[in-house]
Structure 1
Amino acid sequence: MGYFTSRPQLIPGQLISRRRRFVVLVAISTALLGAILLALWRLASTCPGSSFCSGVFKYKTTIKEVHISDASPTSDDLRHAISPSPSSVPAPQQISGMAPVPTAVSTKGPCEGFPDTSNILLIMKTGASESFARIPTQLLMNMRCIFDFLIFGDMEQTVAGYHVQDSLDEVREEVKANNPDFDLYLRQKTCASDQETCNRNTNDNTASQAWSLDKYKNIHIAEKTWRQKSNYDWYLYVDADTYVVWPTMMEWLQHVNPKEQWYIGSVAFLGDFPFAHGGSGYLLSQATMKSFFGGKTDVAKEWDLDTRIVCCSDYLLSYALQHKVGVRVTNVWPVVNGEKPSTMSYGKAQWCQPIVTMHHHRFIEHLLQDKREGWDNLSEDVFYLDEKAREYSNWQLQRTKKGGLSSIEREAHLGFNQCERACHNDPECFQFRLNQGICAMSKSIKHGRPRKPETKDDEWLSGWDVPKINRWVQENSNCGKITWPSVHN
């Protein structure tokens, strides 16, 4: 007999078993289908306009002085996620061949309440030697909520699924050739494993080489940014360890007109020439970017030869902006701030000052304690010491309180408990530190940092008057109307 006529007959037990399996399969299929339909319904309900977050969605403009072109975008505009019209925001699109760019911010979940950042582009600078240590942390925090960003380094990479562009691939070849500044750049390209391993197995000073390479980046990064995304009102340039306080940033920018030429940051000096410190972050307005790069090509290459003889790229950018388009840096410290959280002062002079950036940011646990060993909390407003006990430097002696000392102050240098008592007795003292026979006190609050003793007698002990700090914070919790820095041409 043939195959189809010779199949064995099922006995009743086998038939029941197959029926049960059939019922189970139907139940599982129904459950999966129901879950898919429920997921689609929830996705439609959470995405504006039920467009599944892939099309056009509405948003409310909160920036008073924003001006965004309402011309219909070209296909190239959409490809580069150019800023939208006031009535709609195209979902950011993938640049061909790159990892996904950030999607539009949801009003639900971890980004709920996050400000509208659709008129500002974040540009983050990193290096291949540090990118995997710093970029993922940024991506897990505020960067997942901002509208759009670009990441530039000194090597093309994919980090945590995002594309890091090579900022130096267009530097003039004659500048790269036989230039020790580019030793790290070339070595990175031949590394067959991770950069940390390759750098560990070389006698070169990677940190020093990365610094030498960094000075070629900023103008090239700015030009590449303009080429890719030219319709934003503001361009915020930061390092990979810069922390941005976005709610304060967006509120502040309501008071500054992007149609005017602005180059804003925390001013540092090289000699007597001012520039915006790059690690603190700096802002270029749409008008400044257009004036510097609009309708031009190879702007950055004009400065490549000069870069070899300067120290740093943030200085060179300031020099180029001033001499090419007449835009000088505007200082807004402490709003744009280069201090670390560990070194930043919290006191009467700073308490109600708005802050939009901090540099060298680390996420640390609460550090204010009655006593912390092996710690320098950077107290240095006034010193108590015995000048006869040992030899002190001039700057230490200049900060020493002399004359009119109370009995408690005269004993402050004798030990931690005596130093603590003197701080508690001083209504203006928030914290204190004992090291090398010096009791140092501070009228502001600082976290500080770990400090290892160099000798057995060099122990670092720090303390905070926590009850006094808590009382002061409560008494000064209402800052009233915020005073923004005066920014005008």
Structure 2
Amino acid sequence: MISRLTDPRLFKSILAGFVSFTVALLIFFNINAILNPRASYPASLKKAPTILSTSSATEEMPGANERCSQLPGADDVLVVVKTGATALRERLPVHFQTTLQCIPHYVIFSDMEEEFQGHHIHDVLSGVSARMKECAPEFKFYRDLHENHDRVTEFMRKNAHFQQDAWHLDKWKFVPLVERALLAKPDAKWFIFIEADTFLVWSNLLKWLAQLEWTRPYFLGLPVTMEGQLFAYGGAGWLLSRPAIQRMTQHMASQNDNYEEFTNKTSYGDLILGHVLEQAGIGLTGGWPLIQRETPSTMEHTEDLWCYPIVTFHHIDAPDIKSIWHLEQNWIADALTPLLHFDIFNNLINPLLSTKIDDWDNFSDGEEKALTADEGFEDCKRICEADVQCMQFRFTPRKCTISHSIILGWKADSSMNSISGWMIERISRAKASVQCQRERWISTD
């Protein structure tokens, strides 16, 4: 499933006439989509590859198992999904088919009020002051979007810059998102905020929250510092306890105009929220490695994080969501322990590793060694073998780069002449040595 190989059995069946030519083509493309889903991703998009898929794109997803829909603590949590009208049509349906089946209380906020596949989508920007909607440049896109309420798809097709415009508008959503979340479920103890390309391991989230005291003003997330401000990276998801939101809204009651002005001159919505929470006296507790900004394919898999549970991934597309969803559902049904990073690696990443993959970038970013024009992939492999900690390497003409961590990576443009390899025996030994004897959660105690 690593390289785009031709299955001889398939061609024999075609040539033998066991199936019609049309049906054979359909079978070929369906099998290839499952066995080699990454091949269709243009390298220029720098999109993470789809990982192991257990079903075809047309297969209907199974419902949530009984344990998933009856997990302890579920009624105490509100899941808040932040999206936009130009993105939700592509990104939300898979969540309705998977994770949201397990979650009893969730609300979806966007930049336009609408009904979508039987779900009400709330306009989180409706409360922004009329003055700011007139003077802030990002709201031109908001007005255009609302004028094309009934033909959003056509609007996107005619507006070549809609993704960039939607991203600029997005910064205005973060602060009102938190305020509206409390109104949506004022009795919730916890509020988790995710984006439409975030995967939430719901069962693990509830186990994590059970370790924490919700009456404290918690702000949990993946720490990032930019422009001197510490904040939680938005795409990875962040959590607030009810007391934290209450303190923030009380703080903002007399200063909303000031924060609108601050938002107007600041580029990043998650930075803006971090600033507001800090001003309200609420500090950030780091949630890494439970909370991730990467996908399973792009993150560094190292032994020091394998025994930690996983709560979120970011930049996840629909096929990968289905893959992780299947794994989580099986885990909930069969195991009482949380789903660990090691389980993700062992089930979804390790089967895809190989001694050699052409036109592949595994993100090796450690020691770099210049090669001669006559040296090639095997010479690069020997460099990795000489370093007892080397787990993988990447060869490009005249250069060899090795790495002590394990990353799957993604398909590279053929013009790069990038060939990746992994030290399979060393990885197997590392896996065999893992013993996760206790649950490792993040706590401030």
1:385 aligns with 2:353: no
| Deviation for aligned residue 1:130 | 0.7
| Deviation by residue 1:48-82 (Cα, 9 ceiling, x = unmatched) | xxxxxxxxxxxxxxxxxxxxxxxxxxxxxxxxxxx
Distance 2:244 2:111 in 1: 25
Amino acid at match of 2:172: Y
Structure 2 unaligned spans of 5+: 1-62, 321-347
- Partner residue, 1:173: 130
Is the contact between residue 223 and residue 299 of structure 1 (CA under 8 Å) also seen in structure 2?
Answer: no
- Partner residue, 1:18: none
Distance 1:431 1:479 in 2: 24
- Partner residue, 1:460: 418
- Partner residue, 2:300: 345
- Partner residue, 1:336: 291
Which is greater in Rg?
A: 1
From 361, 374, 383, give the equivalent of 2:316: 361
Distance 2:64 2:362 in 1: 40
Distance 1:375 1:435 in 2: 10
Question: What pairs up with 1:435-446 in 2 under 5 angstroms?
Answer: 435-446=396-407
Distance 1:127 1:207 in 2: 10
3-state SS of 1:237 partner: strand
| Deviation for aligned residue 1:292 | 2.5
| Deviation for aligned residue 1:474 | 2.3
Is the contact between residue 107 and residue 113 of structure 1 (CA under 8 Å) also seen in structure 2?
Answer: no
Is the contact between residue 136 and residue 159 of structure 1 (CA under 8 Å) also seen in structure 2?
Answer: no
- Percent sequence identity is 29
3-state SS of 1:139 partner: helix
User: In terms of mean alpha carbon deviation, does 462-471 or 337-346 score higher?
Assistant: 462-471
Relative to structure 1, is the Cα distance of residues 445 and 385 closer, same or farther in structure 2, using a 3 angstrom cutoff? Answer: same
Distance 2:375 2:72 in 1: 52
Distance 2:405 2:153 in 1: 39
- Partner residue, 2:45: none
- Partner residue, 2:356: 371
| Deviation for aligned residue 1:426 | 4.3
User: In terms of mean alpha carbon deviation, does 212-221 or 294-303 score higher?
Assistant: 294-303
Distance 2:103 2:259 in 1: 32
| Deviation by residue 1:217-246 (Cα, 9 ceiling, x = unmatched) | 111111112112111110001111111122
- Partner residue, 1:450: 411
TM-score, normalization: structure 2?
Answer: 0.73
Question: What pairs up with 1:28-427 in 2 under 5 angstroms?
Answer: 108=66, 111=68, 116-191=73-148, 194-203=151-160, 205-293=161-249, 303-323=259-279, 325-362=280-317, 363-364=319-320, 367-386=352-371, 389=372, 414-424=375-385, 426-427=387-388
1:473 aligns with 2:428: no
- Partner residue, 1:100: none
| Deviation for aligned residue 1:322 | 2.0
| Deviation for aligned residue 1:360 | 0.8
Is the contact between residue 218 and residue 284 of structure 2 (CA under 8 Å) also seen in structure 1?
Answer: yes
| Deviation by residue 1:271-327 (Cα, 9 ceiling, x = unmatched) | 22201111111111011122223698697565223211011221112211222x311
Is the contact between residue 216 and residue 307 of structure 1 (CA under 8 Å) also seen in structure 2?
Answer: yes
Distance 1:285 1:442 in 2: 39
Distance 1:295 1:320 in 2: 9
TM-score, normalization: structure 1?
Answer: 0.67
Relative to structure 1, is the Cα distance of residues 106 and 213 closer, same or farther in structure 2, using a 3 angstrom cutoff? Answer: closer
Distance 2:117 2:385 in 1: 49
Is the contact between residue 261 and residue 286 of structure 1 (CA under 8 Å) also seen in structure 2?
Answer: yes
| Deviation by residue 1:392-446 (Cα, 9 ceiling, x = unmatched) | xxxxxxxxxxxxxxxxxxxxx8212332344355442222111132121111111
Is the contact between residue 394 and residue 402 of structure 2 (CA under 8 Å) also seen in structure 1?
Answer: yes
Is the contact between residue 112 and residue 122 of structure 2 (CA under 8 Å) also seen in structure 1?
Answer: yes
Distance 2:175 2:135 in 1: 22
Distance 2:164 2:70 in 1: 41
Paired positions, count: 353
Amino acid at match of 1:466: I
3-state SS of 2:138 partner: helix
Higher share of residues assigned helix: 2
Is the contact between residue 293 and residue 299 of structure 1 (CA under 8 Å) also seen in structure 2?
Answer: no
Relative to structure 1, is the Cα distance of residues 295 and 268 closer, same or farther in structure 2, using a 3 angstrom cutoff? Answer: closer
Distance 2:245 2:234 in 1: 17
1:428 aligns with 2:389: yes
Structure 1 unaligned spans of 5+: 1-104, 391-412
| Deviation for aligned residue 1:259 | 0.5
Amino acid at match of 2:356: K
Distance 1:221 1:165 in 2: 10
| Deviation by residue 1:79-107 (Cα, 9 ceiling, x = unmatched) | xxxxxxxxxxxxxxxxxxxxxxxxxx986
3-state SS of 1:321 partner: helix
Is the contact between residue 430 and residue 465 of structure 1 (CA under 8 Å) also seen in structure 2?
Answer: yes
Distance 2:354 2:151 in 1: 40
Distance 2:405 2:426 in 1: 12
- Partner residue, 1:68: none
Distance 2:315 2:72 in 1: 24
Amino acid at match of 1:373: D
RMSD: 2.6
